[in-house]
Structure 1
Amino acid sequence: MDKIAFSEEALSVHRKINRTDAAYPEESLKELFEAAVDRRPEAVAVVHQERTLTYRELNGLANSLSVRLAAAGVEPGHVVGLSVKRSPEMIVAMLAIIKRGATYLPVDRTWPDDRLNGILDRAGCTALLTDAPDELRARFGQLRVVPVDPPTLDADEKNPSLRVDPDSLAYIVFTSGSTGTPKGVPIRHRGVVRLVSDPSFVSLDENAVVPQLASVFFDAAAFEIWGALLNGGTSVLYPSDHIRLSELKRLVERNGVTALFITTALFNVIVDEAPGTLDSVRTILTGGEAHSLGHIERARKHYGDGKVVSVYGPTECSVFATHYPVRSSVQGESALPIGLPIQNTSLYIVADGALCAPGEVGEVCLAGPGLSPGYLGMDELTKKKYVEYDIDGEKVVLYHTGDRGFCREDGNVVFQGRLDDQVKVNGFRIELGEITHFMNEVPYVKQSYVTTSEKESGEKVVVAFVVPADADCTPQACHDHLVTKVPRYMVPGEIHVRDSLPLTGSGKVDRKALLAGLGNPE
């Protein structure tokens, strides 16, 4: 075990920011949800358009579906695929898997078959819950496909007697991987419970009304769903695949939304076009990409101090790790801080084997019960990213995020970019190297370079530049190849063919020159 060196100044600031220990239940999602049912059986748990489910109804349907999972051979500890469109049935399916002591794996049936098969195999998935059973049986005959069909379920089914260990796995999310292989990130029940139990960054109780806006393949959905249901509040499912501000405003006002999470890109659009959309919301959580100070300042002036809270956290830490309530003007700042650790989370800035003093830039490392146990089937990567250290006599497992940052004198952490080529686009984590990997597979591509460009609104767009090997190399041909290899959110929004890639004096691809050629210098 390595020891981390430190100066007294560095140790002092880290001790200050890491006083985050707080009591939280030593129970699983199953037990906490069932306790909420006992407290408020007739309260509304889920809203979707004109449909509502009470806690009693939701619980009974989930219990009945969990019985079917057992009949299909699903045992505690198994991984069950989840392919259900956003609906009350999706929540029923999630709960059914949890109540069986199994782990849910959200999958998108629009992903290419090769990618889906690889993900299902790596997770050891043998069963699939879905609202499209005929389609998925035809595509994935090796799986036991269990349909989600509420009219055939018994809403009076009693709770299963099974107890689920809080250290067992609740769900798995697959993120982009630089080698072309997605990385499976399993999250424990404990990590989610520590996130939504009496949180320091937002009020969650039986009066909480939280919209479910995020794709279920994006880890923010875990905060949205479990933050409401484990506290006896209401989860309001957004009715459409794509968010429209007029529709979001109606949903917020009609349901009395108290808190919501939106990606940085959507936040910027709301601030630019219709800030009144969120006037009645008590807390606006936003993150996923670096924030524009101009948008943050305009939002603060419109909503008032403290209503907007910037949140940060990689998937590996169970959704959120830090928070920064915007309580004063950010004019004159170099960047918006990612803030201080949330409850039961620790943060360390480390460089060259030592803790960094205020102002010194290093890698952001995280610790605490929110950490994933590691990547599925990737032992070497897990050993590299999750490392046990001795810090002033205390054994601490640190997750190396690959993000750079520094502590200010007041302890707030400021993000300073990445150590690698990972980016966040519309809240999705993307390894540019994974896109490059598949682009370079194309026979008619000699060279490729993938980066991001930023629109005036602050929204990031993935941009690819390719040098052709022959006349068959067109933007459309490259696009058509990529859609068979990666999810839609990873396909570049722009693909440009170039005779060659300009180089800097050090021999690296000159990103600035490429973007300047598009009329978009950075």
Structure 2
Amino acid sequence: MNRTTSEGAIRDGVAQAPGPLLLPTDRPRRRTAPRLTAVTELRLPASISGALDAFAASAGVAQDAVLLACFVALGFRYTGQESFTVTLAAGSSVGAAVDGESCLSELARVVGAGADDQPSPVAFQHACGEDVAQGPHELLLRIRRASERLDVEVHYDEALFDAATARRLLDHYATLLAAALAEPARKVSTLPLLTAEEQQTILVDWNGTGADLAYEDCLHRRFEARVAQTPQAIALSHGTDQWTFARVDQAANQLAHHLLEVGVEPGARVGLCLDRSSDLLVSLLAVLKAGGAYVPLDPDYPAQRLATMVDGAGCVAMVSRGDLSANLGAAADSGQTPLVLLDRDAPVIEGRSTQRPDVDVTPGDLCYVIFTSGSTGRPKPIALRHRGVLNNLADLNSRYGVGVGDKVLALSSPSFDMSVYEMVGMTIAGGTVVLPDRERIKDPEHWAALLTEHGVTVWNSAPALLELLVAQAERDGAVAFPALRLAMLGGDWIPVTLPDRVRRVAPALRFIALGGATESSIHSTLYEVTCTDPAWTSIPYGRPMANQRTYILDPAGQPVPIGVPGDLHLAGTGLAQGYLNQPERTAERFLDWSYGPVTGERLYRTGDLARYRGDGQIELLGRLDFQVKVNGLRIELGEVESLLRNHPEVKDAVVAARPDPVGDRQLVGYVVPRDPGTLDVAELRDHLAAVLPAYMVPATTVVLDALPLSPNGKLDRTALPAPDQAHGEPVAADDAPRGHWERRIAEVWQEGLGVERVGRDADFFALGGDSMKAARSIAKIGAPLKWADLYRHPVLRDLAAHMERLTADAAAQ
């Protein structure tokens, strides 16, 4: 927040006709007028009354101005609003502009400087026997002076506020007032709100998560312990290929020795450019056994992106296969980073020792470095340690009884940290990793078949993938997955309807919502959804997991009360070492913090806007920055914007995430060209695709004459036009579909992609199609179309011709 520091600035703010104070409510506001239907009161101690007399006299202000200023300061601390109105007893509304750097006496001198006749939802009354003007009001604070004491009442609308909330407001008013009177020079933004009891509850009791999970160990050693217990059990299943724990361990030992030979040393980073396969499990274990940390490199990423990641992580070696290494050219050609190709180098690797390498690795050493989108235009390398990751995996396994006999379907990309549970978490528990066919990795019909065939018991993914599976099962119209007993969802918002939908096709399911950040070893909070509340707008974020802690703080680093929004911070065993070789960026997000009973805590500032419910559950409200999630994938809009602005034909650019015509979230790029006549939108998209992963390339680009600005000259994101309200890329060719299949596919695409017309040469993915839309379109087109067919034939006329061949072959049989 931009906050000035002078009384003059406060007065200027008063003159700007501030809007109403919108206190956080327990229930959504209604269209009907609020009514004051309940009251609760608090008697302040005599010491407060005496201190008020002295404070007012010393500051040269009236007592009622001090009491009003305290109420204004409380409203500021509850909402973060720097200007708002409060209705007074006489019926007028005082405008208040709050500077968090000022003290209470400064605020008291100017808080009544402006008044108008516009009523506010919040009223303040310091009078005896005089009623405030009729509202409508949501809340009224009334202060009465009787002899040597102050009696404070809060009148409130029970449809909006709980009695406990009203009582806390009184307590916070009293706490803030007492602190301001005791320390007159203290800044309004740092005055305490929480009572000692609240501090104990929120900061200590709700963070009492200590558990003996034996996390002071290393991931590969836990795997090796499982090998000793069940050497012939199946660790990994891929089609007809079954890998026992002993076989995986032996292959990992051989590759570890080979990595040591090519220069991998303890603490070194090794890039793994591999897909979801047995090679991935073997290779990551081999890197850990060699004392290194693995760096997942997606084979589908552009070559420039991979080169940036290899350089940013300081990889001393890379592991891949010949068919996956094409985009590693830029990194490998430098000659500085040895490239191990598992197929090419198999004879040498298989000749290495099968004994475990004797390498000293500690729980505090790095186990992997994973990249996420970065707001500065470059991806961020997050460095994770063994103990933090092991604590997370052990917590989930022990909490939900995951062990021998359990199976998980590995769908998460190796570049997405939820894959760590699938590959490592399941195997250290003694369970089996089931791998999908590479050709059908995004095919929900294939997932459903694997769940049934293998009796998969655990699902672990972003919500969007489970939605696709459920939609597939719903089309089949029967209980589909009786063995599925546990679903763990993380990485994105979970639709409130999803738990009930999935339990209809998997009746034995326990549904777990997971929250957190890559910077805190995958997950930090969890909430088991046993039933959903019709009033929910989102699934609760939950409470901290074992040996992890959460703090919700305001911009000044003060803990916020129950119900008040703030910035969610994570702490505890799971915290990452930081951003690899980026101390300044690490210092921005990883903070040292102490408050009240908490001392010497290291925090990660998530940027998530959240608040506590009365039962300690965290409710996620949104973001405080421009990080977004699309299909569970984390994107910093600043990274995409930076690359757009780097294009020589672009003068300015901004990127937003907004619903597309069918309701899915998509990225939209808004660009202002240097010369509107020369900007080639298709070439601009190619410019981004050469650097960014496909999911970070805007689905639509809108060309504007200028970016919309607010009155103060800043970008007004709310004024950015919807893509269909501005000229952008054409959505289809001119030629109309012909024949049954072309017309049928065009009809499905028009509905599924939200476009008015589709030509014969239209490309499904160029029109905005993605894996989610592909699954829906395939289902509507129907058999015999398969997932791979659409990816091999994305152009409408080609797909229609393929469908004609398939139906002709089926008829001939």
Distance 2:572 2:452 in 1: 37
- Distance in 2 separating the partners of 1:328 and 1:4: 40
1:291 to 467, 489, 494: 494
**2:252 counterpart SS class:** helix
Structure 1 counterpart of 2:624: 419
Contact 1:60 1:155 in 2 (8 A): no
Does residue 316 in structure 1 map to residue 519 in structure 2?
Answer: yes
SS at match of 1:93: helix
Counterparts in 2 of 1:306 and 1:147: CA distance versus 1, 3 Å: closer
Q: Residue 330 of structure 1 corresponds to which residue in structure 2? A: 533
Over residues 407-464 of structure 1, what are the superposed CA-to-partner deviations in whole Å (9 max), with x where a residue is unaligned?
Answer: 1011110111111100111222110010000001112122222011225776421111
Greater mean alpha carbon deviation, residues 193-202 or residues 380-389: 193-202
| 1:191 aligned onto 2:388 | yes
Match of 1:182 in 2: 379
Deviation at 1:469, TM superposition (A): 2.0
Query: d(CA) in 2 for partners of 1:302 and 1:378?
Result: 47
Q: 2:467 aligns with which of 265, 268, 275?
A: 268
- In the alignment, does 2:655 pair up with 1:465? no
Q: Is the 8 A contact 1:296 1:330 kept in 2?
A: no
Separation (CA, whole Å) in 1 of partners of 2:593 and 2:455: 46
> In the alignment, what sits opposite 2:688?
482
1:498 maps onto 2:498 in alignment: no
Residues 476-503 of structure 1: per-residue CA shift (max 9 Å, x gap):
1210110122222211112122333334
Instruction: State the distance in 2 between where 1:44 and 1:410 align.
Output: 42
Partners of 1:78 and 1:145 lie apart in 2 by 15
Q: Does 1:445 align with 2:634?
A: no
Tell me what 1:402 maps to.
607
**Paired residue for 2:442, among 219, 243, 247?**
243
Matched, 1:431 2:636: yes
Q: 1:141 maps to what in 2?
A: 335
Check the 8 A contact 2:485/2:506 in 1, yes or no.
no
Structure 2 counterpart SS, 1:417? strand
Q: For 1:464, give the aligned amino acid.
A: G
* Structure 1: unaligned runs, 5 residues or longer: none
Q: Moved runs in structure 1, 4+ residues, more than 6 A?
A: none
The question of 1:232 aligning with 2:438 is answered no
Greater Cα offset, 480-489 or 386-395: 386-395
Q: Which has more radius of gyration?
A: 2
Q: Distance in 1 between matches of 2:191 and 2:627?
A: 26
Q: Which residue of 2 aligns with 1:80?
A: 270
Assess, with a 3 A threshold, how the Cα gap between structure 1 residues 281 and 456 changes in structure 2: closer, same or farther. Answer: farther
Which residue pairs with 1:342 in the alignment? 545
**1:273 to partner: Cα distance:** 4.7
Q: Could you tell me which residue of structure 1 aligns to residue 563 of structure 2?
A: 359
CA distance in 2, matches of 1:155, 1:48: 25
CA contact (8 A) 2:669 2:702 kept: yes
Q: Which residue of 2 aligns with 1:123?
A: 313
Distance 1:264 1:393 in 2: 35
Which stretch of structure 1 is more off in the superposition, 14-23 or 108-117? Answer: 108-117
Any idea what SS the aligned residue of 1:329 has?
coil
Partner-residue secondary structure (3-state), 1:293 = coil
* Contact 1:114 1:485 survives alignment (8 Å): yes
What is the rounded CA distance, in whole Å, between the counterparts of 1:511 and 1:393 in structure 2? 39
8 Å CA contact 1:61–1:156 kept in 2: the answer is: no
- Counterpart residue number, 2:121: none
Q: Which moved more, 1:294-303 or 1:263-272?
A: 294-303
Task: Give the Cα–Cα distance (whole angstroms) in 2 for the partners of residues 419 and 364 of structure 1.
Answer: 10
Q: Deviations over 1:140-197 (max 9, x none)?
A: 4321112224565269812223342111000000111111121110110111110111
Determine if contact 1:48/1:236 at 8 Å carries over to the other structure.
Answer: yes
Whole-Å Cα distance in 2 between the matches of residues 299 and 374 of structure 1?
A: 37
Contact preservation (8 Å) 2:644, 2:688: yes
1:15-51 Cα deviation digits (max 9, x unpaired): 3321211112221012111100000000000111221
Contact 1:204/1:227 (CA < 8 Å) preserved in 2? no
Aligned to 1:380: 584
The answer to whether the 8 Å contact 1:305/1:326 transfers is no
Distance 1:490 1:195 in 2: 28
**Match for 1:478: what amino acid?**
L
Cα distance between partner residues in 1 of 2:720 and 2:497: 26
The superposition leaves residues 497-519 of structure 1 with CA deviations (integer Å, 9 ceiling, x where unpaired) of 23333344554444444354537
Amino acid at match of 1:386: F
Query: How far apart are the structure 1 equivalents of 2:480 and 2:690?
Result: 37
CA contact (8 A) 2:578 2:586 kept: yes
Q: Compute the displacement of 1:390 (Å).
A: 2.0
Q: In structure 2, how many angstroms separate the alpha carbons of the residues matched to 1:396 and 1:278?
A: 44
Taking a change above 3 Å as real, the CA distance of residues 84 and 280 of structure 1, as seen in their structure-2 partners, is: same
AA matched with 1:24: L
Contact 1:340/1:413 (<8 A) preserved: yes
TM-score by length of 1: 0.92
What per-residue deviation string (whole Å, max 9, x for no partner) do you get for residues 214-245 of structure 1? 11011111111111111111111222364211
Counterpart CA distance in 2 for 1:454 and 1:295 is: 19
Any idea what the Cα deviations from partners look like across 1:246-293, whole Å, max 9, x if unmatched? 100111111221111121222333444535565531111112222232
1:19 aligns with 2:208: yes
Equivalent position SS for 2:438 = coil
Cα contact 1:74–1:127 (8 A) shared by 2: yes
Is contact 2:395–2:545 with CA below 8 Å preserved after alignment?
no
Q: Which amino acid aligns with 2:681?
A: P
Residues 119/396 of structure 1: CA separation in 2 closer, same or farther (3 Å cut): same
Q: Superposed, which structure 2 residues align to 1:136-215 within 5 Å? A: 136=328, 139-149=333-343, 153=350, 157-199=354-396, 202-215=400-413
Aligned-partner Cα distance in 2 for 1:423–1:255: 35
TM-score w.r.t. the length of structure 2 is 0.60
Question: SS of the counterpart of 2:434?
Answer: strand
**8 Å CA contact 1:27, 1:165 repeated in 2:** yes
Distance 1:300 1:47 in 2: 26
CA contact (8 A) 1:453 1:461 kept: yes
Gaps of 5+ in 2: 1-189, 726-753, 755-813
Deviation at 1:342, TM superposition (A): 1.3
* Residue correspondences, number: 518
1:253 and 2:447 correspond: no
Q: Give, in whole Å, the separation in 1 of the partners of 2:431 and 2:509.
A: 22
Q: CA contact under 8 A between 2:257 and 2:353: conserved in structure 1?
A: no
Identity %: 35
**CA 21–155 in structure 1, closer or farther in 2 if over 3 Å, else same:** farther
When residues 192 and 349 of structure 1 are mapped into structure 2, their CA distance, relative to the original with a 3 A threshold, is same
**C-alpha distance in structure 2 between counterparts of 1:393 and 1:513, whole Å:** 43
**Equivalent position SS for 2:720:** helix
Other-structure match for 2:287: 97
In the alignment, the residues of structure 2 paired with residue 198 and residue 449 of structure 1 have an alpha-carbon distance, to the nearest angstrom, of 41
